[in-house]
Structure 1
């Protein structure tokens, strides 16, 4: 098995703080962030016990590609990518919402719809939809950005009522979200894919809205294969997906959905390799290039050295 990066515990000159997220380890400096994409994998807001080799590299490199391709729509936080698993960028003040946008009734939205809900985050959904049907128009279904535990669905009205984001800024977030989704949809179509749903995170930097974190990766997005979509939908069969949904479905089949009292199933080497292979498949399909498996034999020290070089250069 190739080595997966489960966690980091670096101490850099000038470092002021370290934050450990579900997948990323974030090192703060006075005016910059260093974000390390680990090989941890989460589902249902729970970090699974085993890392997935190359997953961090896949996420970091896909995000870098799409952030560069959308910089004309909204400025983003990236300054450099000194290692396949690392991005260095601006230290922003993040908004406490995630802007989720959906073009199809899939995943969480489909599960809510199946349970009888016809209003999702304040947005009305028509009757008669089947799972994975295209929605009449893309809808924004925000979630709160939880420091711990589960993110929660929230409506536009509640965001404004609670003062989480002021109205003028929130309107701009909605406009950016729609424009980014349109660009992502166009880029996916060029690769024979459908961008089903995704999420964007934003922050403020010197008073300006900045796109932060990752975009259009398998952890933040869901893709269908375009060539089989209509046929499978007509037959009411599951869609061929490129997303993390296959991990969620495996967990559901094993009786785990992140609820109290449930036990995370064991992850065999075969299961770990199959998940790694799916992430690499997604990279090659979305990006259109062969994935370059970098040497992971000493991944911890490789990343540390590349970060130190980047800091010194800055």
Structure 2
């Protein structure tokens, strides 16, 4: 285990393409190099302290799920082995080992694709106010963490860094992406969620919801970014599931809950995280990896 964690990378000789909440991305001409740091964000604010090994866990989990879904849809992953990377990456092999992906360049679709199988988070809040999520009417009488009769597709906008994504309806998604592409991503997203849920169920994990991103390469629709990680999904221990209350989790909901206990306005600067919160968050990510992948 890395004790300190990797907060940022700056590789001389490589062209920095973008810096996200978690990932540093480098432009390698025909490909991108995605490096998952150990940064963690909550409420769209990046914490000051890293979660050791988090980037390695995210990379391993994404690679696992990309492989599992290849017959449903292609993805951008070329390799996670630095030995396969272009020669200009060689000086940074140690930093890249275990936490990086060489990927195909894609044109990202400007919509976050969220599938919900259970009512939690913002979906639960929307249901309480409107009995609907992203314009989809749901039955009366549902509770927090209720399992839905069928998973639903609840897209959001892709907001600029530091701003919140906004829920949109299917019609609004069609206005952005077109009817054909919208239909495709809904079908693919639901198929991925259903397959992943079956795999996770065997590992004692409920996938309450998950976020996916798609892009186009030469007109081909593919998965990009990450897939079914604790950063992009709610993972609940099946053995502890009880409808009608918040659930224990293997994701960063533990960190969110801690932050909600503070008198913090959810704007930068982030509060300092105690060592116990950092290590407990890491343990939850690691537990999800062990159950699902190893």
Residue pair 1:251, 1:257 contacting (<8 A) in 2 also: no
Query: Is 2:274 the partner of 1:275?
Result: no
Q: Is the 8 A contact 2:49 2:272 kept in 1?
A: no
CA shift, 1:156, in A, is: 1.4
State how 1:139-288 maps to structure 2 within 5 Å: 139-148=152-161, 149-161=163-175, 164-229=176-241, 232-233=242-243, 236-256=244-264, 258=266, 264-287=270-293
Partner Cα separation in structure 2 for residue 256 and residue 165 of structure 1: 37
Question: Which string of whole-angstrom CA distances, capped at 9 and with x for unpartnered residues, describes residues 236-271 of structure 1?
Answer: 444232222111111111134625xx8633212222
Divergent runs of 4+, >4 A: none
SS in structure 1 at match of 2:80: strand
Q: Deviations over 1:183-238 (max 9, x none)?
A: 11111012121111001100000110011111110001112222332xx32xx444
- How far apart are the structure 1 equivalents of 2:62 and 2:182? 23
Paired residue secondary structure (1:101) = strand
Preserved CA contact (<8 Å) 1:59 1:217: yes
- After superposition, give the CA deviation of every residue in 1:127-181 in whole Å (9 maximum; x if it has no partner): 21110001121111101112322211111111223xx212111111111101111
The runs of 5 or more residues in structure 2 that have no matched partner are 82-96
Quick check: 1:40–1:48 contact (8 Å CA) kept in 2?
yes
Q: Deviations over 1:65-85 (max 9, x none)?
A: 111111111000000002210
Whether the 8 Å CA contact 1:196–1:224 is kept in 2: the answer is yes
The answer for unaligned runs of 5 or more in structure 1 is 290-314
Partner of 2:126: 112
More displaced stretch, 270-279 vs 201-210: 270-279
Deviation digits for residues 277-304 of structure 1 (CA, Å, limit 9, x no counterpart): 22112211222x2xxxxxxxxxxxxxxx
1:122 to 113, 135, 142: 135
- CA contact under 8 A between 2:117 and 2:208: conserved in structure 1? yes
Report the Cα distance in structure 2 between the residues aligned to 1:109 and 1:199, rounded to whole angstroms: 13
**Residue-pair matches, total:** 277
Supply the distance in 2 between the matched residues of 1:88 and 1:59 (Cα, whole angstroms): 15
Q: How does 1:283-294 map to 2 (within 5 A)?
A: 283-287=289-293, 289=294
Of 41-50 and 248-257, more deviation after overlay is shown by 248-257
State the secondary structure of the residue aligned to 1:241.
coil
Which residue number in structure 2 is paired with residue 136 of structure 1?
149
Per the normalisation by structure 1, the TM-score is 0.84
Structure 2-normalised TM-score?
Answer: 0.89
Q: Matches of residues 1-150 of structure 1 in structure 2 within 5 Å?
A: 2-12=3-13, 15=15, 17-82=16-81, 83-114=97-128, 116-148=129-161, 149-150=163-164
